[in-house]
Amino acid sequence: MSVSSCRHRRRTEGPGWTATQRRLHWWIAALIGIGFCVAPLMVAVPLRALLAKFLLYQLHKTIGLTVLALAAARLVVRARHGRPAPDATMPAWQRRAAASVHAALYALALITPSFGYLTAATAPAQVPTLFLLIVPVPHVIGPSPAWYPLIRQLHRGCAILLVTLGLGHAAAALRHHRRGRPTLLAMWRG
């Protein structure tokens, strides 16, 4: 494709991503990234600095619950507004792969924080979950020495998978962008 002044084709037919969809997309991505980075920090803080450890855990839990709510909202918006028509010039296998990855990302954005919530609930330490340090979030199940190790591993595994797929998704979007497809700009500008 030749470089021109209008390097990226504009989407001329059909609606683009709505402003709400775009904002939700970038906010969810940013929060997942921050939450994922906070996790090893909060685990590494020693018990001699319990206040810092507690605050980092609450930050991580607040981020996770926010991601859960925003991801659910995104699905509702998607059901109502649909999505822009897929890029017809993209090979079919790429469109299918993208659809699969997107579905997995939606699912993991819901499942990962759900497992996180259950990890907090089943943990023997019995630290309450305080959204924004203000709103207590009740734990619907109690501490469970049997379930906690398993649920914690599921949470970590899903988080790693979510971030890995997310990075692949971002890399693919950049690749499409560099090849002149409107993919990235459609989510950036609409």
Partner 1 sequence: MNQALASLARMLGRGTLALALTIAAAGPAGAGGLAFSIDQRYGTIGFAVEHLGLFSSQGRFGRFTGTLDIDPAHPKRTSFRIVVDTTSIGMPWAEATAMLRSPDFFDVARYPVMSYRSASVTPLPGQHYAIAGVLDIRGVARPQALDALLLDRRIDPRRHVETAEFAVTGRLKRSDFGMVTNPLFISDTVTLNIHVRIELPTSPQD
Residue 31 DSSP label: H
Q: Please report whether residue 128 would count as binding partner 1 according to CB under 8 A.
A: yes
Q: Please report whether residue 127 would count as binding partner 1 according to CB under 8 A.
A: yes
Cβ atoms of residues 119 and 151 within 8 Å: yes
Q: Please report whether residue 149 would count as binding partner 1 according to CB under 8 A.
A: no
**Window 129-148: residues binding partner 1 (CB under 8 A):** 130, 143
Q: Please report whether residue 126 would count as binding partner 1 according to CB under 8 A.
A: yes
Helix (H, G, I), strand (E, B) or coil at 137: strand
Helix (H, G, I), strand (E, B) or coil at 72: helix
The region of 12-20, 41-49, 69-77, 110-118 touching partner 1 under the rule CB under 8 A is: 41-49
Q: Please report whether residue 49 would count as binding partner 1 according to CB under 8 A.
A: yes
Nearer to partner 1, 91 or 142 (CB): 142
The region of 14-22, 45-53, 95-103, 177-185 touching partner 1 under the rule CB under 8 A is: 45-53
Instruction: Find where tokens 């991503």 sit.
Output: 17
d(CA 21, CA 123): 35
The region of 80-88, 96-104, 126-134, 160-168 touching partner 1 under the rule CB under 8 A is: 126-134
CA quadruple 46, 133, 118, 27: dihedral, nearest 10: -100
Q: Please report whether residue 48 would count as binding partner 1 according to CB under 8 A.
A: yes
- State the sign of the Cα–Cα–Cα–Cα dihedral 112, 161, 85, 179: positive
Q: How far is the CB of 47 from partner 1 (least distance, A)?
A: 5
Q: What angle do CA 139, 144, 148 make, to 5 degrees?
A: 90
- Retrieve residue 123's tokens: 């943990």
Q: What is the binding site for partner 1 (CB under 8 A)?
A: 47-51, 54, 123-128, 130, 143
